[in-house]
Structure 1
Amino acid sequence: MNRKDIKIKRMLQYFVDATVQIMKEEGIENVSARKIADIAGYTSSTIYNYFGELSHLLYFASMRFVKDYLLELPSYLERGETYTEKYLLSWECFCKHSFANPQIYHAVYIADLGEKPEEMLAHYFSIYSSDLVGFSDEIRPLLFESDLTTRSKALLDMAKREREITDEAIEEVNEMAVLIWEGMMTALVNKRRNTDPQEAVEKTMRYIRNIVKILEK
């Protein structure tokens, strides 16, 4: 890495760290370019030399909070004996973390980033490569998949090794699971439901388990 790349990486980290600090102290909804610049020690306009939009910076900072979910996911998957069970457990782990921090997960998995999410994710891991350390071969491919539908479908695709399941059934079940999660997440972010995180997890998982029964037919 040359000196210019090192400087760019350092600047990106300054702004991400400042954003993370604000998110921890005031919440993601109170993040502003001015506050970030004040903490980082630069002008607001400097931020846009490194991030095309504020949503990009929020994405990078939010990924710092998603790491807890990624670290706990392997222990959930170990409890499953079949890939269908692992699929359900992966959703349970995801719902647990995402509903506890809906604003964060909305920024990562739903918010409009203004450009291709896969490029944003690759850029993130190019800066925070240490976040990839310690993950198994089963988990590592999921880290580079920015699309939630494709990402969650991976375990169902593996279930075809264990039983006869059509691609059409997998597509249908997986898409419905994602839509159920997105519906609950949107309701929580917009405060349309007076639901605590645990209740949201239980309700969402009940619906997802019901649709997965389609695969048993």
Structure 2
Amino acid sequence: MNARKQKQTARMHDYFIEAAATIIEEKGIEHVTARGVADIAGYTSSTIYNYFKELSHLIFFASMRFLDDYNKDLSTYTQKAQTPLDKYLVSWECFCKHSFAKPQIYHAIFISDLGEHPNELIKHYYSVYSNDFDKFPDQLKNIMLEHDIAKRSKPLLIEATQNENFNEENIDFLLQVAVLVWKGMLTTILNNRLSYSPEQATKVTMDYIKEITLKYQNSN
């Protein structure tokens, strides 16, 4: 693809992503439709599929726009951590805080079926919006490019095993439990099964994650 074509493609991506983000902000993610996006962008709905394989991909890219607060907070949280284990736990706390405040956004990015490798979509997003990516500290860049929540947290927990009383054999188990607890709470919030505020949901989730993590630390 020549430079001119690349610029045109990037521009069209931006039109549709901005339109979808506008709908999400004003009406909610459940109201994003191909026709609605096309109307705002000034194109036909069929044109969208010249640039996005599925509507879910467009929703994914538009949802990424709403991660800015989380990304900024994550850097602040981890910088304040005193130990590798603290860094692991506060990174989860930050993720819970923001995901429970915007459950539909985080479901669209981290849980919904995207039909192909999500990491490729993330890399593509940050290749288009490289300025957003360049703002991250080097230690967080690899985390930002990883879609799998367990894999995002794994380097932090591995570091904890090297510096604290942890058995590396338990890492994958602890990560999977943490992810399942988070997914369970997010699903509960989305389905209106509990009237937790984002702060309450974060506290309950972190109580579970901390308890299981520290239990395995103390048992080794």
TM-score normalised by length of structure 2: 0.95
The superposition leaves residues 153-207 of structure 1 with CA deviations (integer Å, 9 ceiling, x where unpaired) of 1200111221353222111111101110011011112222222211101100111
Corresponding position of 1:62: 63
Corresponding position of 1:94: 95
Q: Structure 2 CA distance, aligned partners of 1:75 and 1:131?
A: 16
Aligned to 1:52, the other structure's residue is in SS state coil
Q: Structure 2 CA distance, aligned partners of 1:205 and 1:75?
A: 18
The superposition leaves residues 19-69 of structure 1 with CA deviations (integer Å, 9 ceiling, x where unpaired) of 011111101111111110000000001011111111000000000001210
Q: Structure 1 CA distance, aligned partners of 2:165 and 2:182?
A: 26
- Identity percentage of aligned residues: 49
Does structure 1 retain, via aligned residues, the 8 Å contact 2:165–2:218? no
55-64 vs 124-133, which moves further: 124-133
127-136 vs 31-40, which moves further: 127-136
Counterpart AA for 2:218: E
The superposition leaves residues 93-145 of structure 1 with CA deviations (integer Å, 9 ceiling, x where unpaired) of 00010000000000000000011111111111111111112221211111111
Q: Structure 2 CA distance, aligned partners of 1:208 and 1:18?
A: 37
Does structure 2 retain, via aligned residues, the 8 Å contact 1:169–1:215? no
CA drift at 1:80:
1.4
- Is residue 214 of structure 2 the alignment partner of residue 215 of structure 1? no
Pairing of 1:124-203 with structure 2 (within 5 A): 124-203=125-204
Does structure 2 retain, via aligned residues, the 8 Å contact 1:23–1:30? yes
Q: Structure 1 CA distance, aligned partners of 2:84 and 2:218?
A: 13
178-187 vs 160-169, which moves further: 160-169
Corresponding position of 1:28: 29
Q: How many residue pairs get matched?
A: 217
The superposition leaves residues 64-92 of structure 1 with CA deviations (integer Å, 9 ceiling, x where unpaired) of 00121011111111221111111110011
TM-score normalised by length of structure 1: 0.97
Corresponding position of 2:109: 108
Unaligned residue ranges in structure 1 (runs of 5+):
none
Counterpart AA for 1:185: L
Unaligned residue ranges in structure 2 (runs of 5+):
none
Aligned-CA RMSD value: 1.1
Q: Structure 1 CA distance, aligned partners of 2:69 and 2:92?
A: 15
Does structure 1 retain, via aligned residues, the 8 Å contact 2:103–2:186? yes
Q: Structure 1 CA distance, aligned partners of 2:51 and 2:218?
A: 49
Counterpart AA for 1:166: N
Corresponding position of 1:46: 47
Q: Structure 2 CA distance, aligned partners of 1:80 and 1:167?
A: 21
Does structure 2 retain, via aligned residues, the 8 Å contact 1:149–1:178? yes
Q: Structure 1 CA distance, aligned partners of 2:159 and 2:167?
A: 12
Corresponding position of 1:77: 78
